[in-house]
Amino acid sequence: MDDELRFSETVSSKLGFYVYRLIDPRNGETFYVGKGVGNRVFAHVKGENTLSDDVLTGKLQRIRDIRRSGFDVIHVIHRHGMNEVTAFEVEAALIDAYPETSNAVGGRASDERGLMHARQIAERYEAREVVFRCRTILININQMAVERGSIYEAVRFAWKLDPKKASKAGIVLAVDKGLVIGVFIVDVWLPATVLNFPEAPFDQPGRWGFTGHEAAPEIANLYLRCRVPDHMRKPGAANPIRYADA
């Protein structure tokens, strides 16, 4: 069985950082992309063995379904012998190339330098740089706008931030791939609970959201389709929240 697979110390020492794919042998579909060292590629199958049905993620449920069907997950080392920075880049590119994967988020820098239409790339680099007129919060929403149905629903919850600090900002900018795509005025910041946000699937302690409205055209047009300054777009940054002063 595939849960018995492992690399020897000799092989692991030669591999360095690598990027791998997990493939469903029943249909040839890549359902997960990851990076790691040593025996990381095999850890997912081993993890599935220790979990009950009620805590399985989509990835682990797929692994369980494959095994129950009498097959083994196909483990493919896509590229090896890399340093960690290069591995992050390759991982992000493969996640873009296989959109059917169950990865919860895109790879590092996938929002800034990932999959885009050629017109999006042209717009992103030709857009004028945003000029901040007041204290501002920028929130990177990426694909969440599509999932929630509107930019407002995507940007308003649920974030790890200091509500006192956030309340001092005059506006919230929704950012996608380095461009401002929404401008909102905040009425109030609230804990990210189902009571405050009925759309939320569950309470999220320590996270916050806001209620508000779209900025008037005379304000919104100062920011919409503008490019976030280069110094604010740090490659690999995990925090979607950024602050800017006038």
51: left (phi over 0), alpha (psi -120 to 50) or beta: beta
Judge contact between 241 and 160, C-beta under 8 A.
yes
**Averaged pLDDT, 70-88:** 92
Residue-range domain boundaries for the chain: 2-108, 118-244
Q: Which of 26-30, 74-78, 124-128, 144-148 has the lowest mean pLDDT?
A: 144-148
Q: Provide Rg for the chain, Cα atoms.
A: 21
Q: Which of 10-14, 22-26, 107-111, 129-133 has the lowest mean pLDDT?
A: 107-111
Max intra-chain CA distance, the chain = 64
Quick one: 2-108 is in which CATH superfamily? GIY-YIG endonuclease (3.40.1440.10)
Displacement of CA 97 from its chain's centroid (Å): 15
**Averaged pLDDT, 34-46:** 91
